Amino acid sequence: MYGKNYYVYIMSNQYHTVFYIGMTNSLERRMLEHTLTKNNNSFTSKYKIKELLYYEEYSDPASAISREKQLKGWRREKKLELIKKLNPELKNLLQED
């Protein structure tokens, strides 16, 4: 049986001074929501978070939620180390071909 995919992702602003960690079942849709949001009170709008730096894929929501919580508990340095393992230049993955 074909299962649904779930994603845990890390986004940042252009200066990489703030990280946002989230979970979704549609990475493409969620990235659009973050980048096109008009709600000035949202965290991503307030800190101009528009760059996708990292994501992981899961086959069940419980694993994704658990991983999201784990990453949110990490110190900034550990998050940055994780991102740099797969994205050493901190490129915006939304602009990759």
Q: Which of 52, 66, 67 is nearest to 20 (CA)?
A: 52
Nearby residues of 43 by Cβ (< 8 Å), 6 or more positions away: 20, 49
The average pLDDT across 29-56 equals: 89
Dist. CA 22–CA 24, nearest whole Å: 7
Cβ(8)–Cβ(15) under 8 Å? no
Q: For 6-95, which CATH superfamily applies?
A: GIY-YIG endonuclease (3.40.1440.10)
Dist. CA 49–CA 42, nearest whole Å: 10
Residue 39, pLDDT score: 79
The average pLDDT across 30-48 equals: 85
Asked whether residue 97 carries a pLDDT value surpassing 60, the answer given is no
**By three-state DSSP, how is residue 15 classified?**
coil
Annotate 44-74 with b (16+ C-beta within 10 A) or e (fewer).
beebebbbbbbbbebeeeeebeebbeebeee
pLDDT band at 1 (very low <50, low <70, confident <90, very high): very low
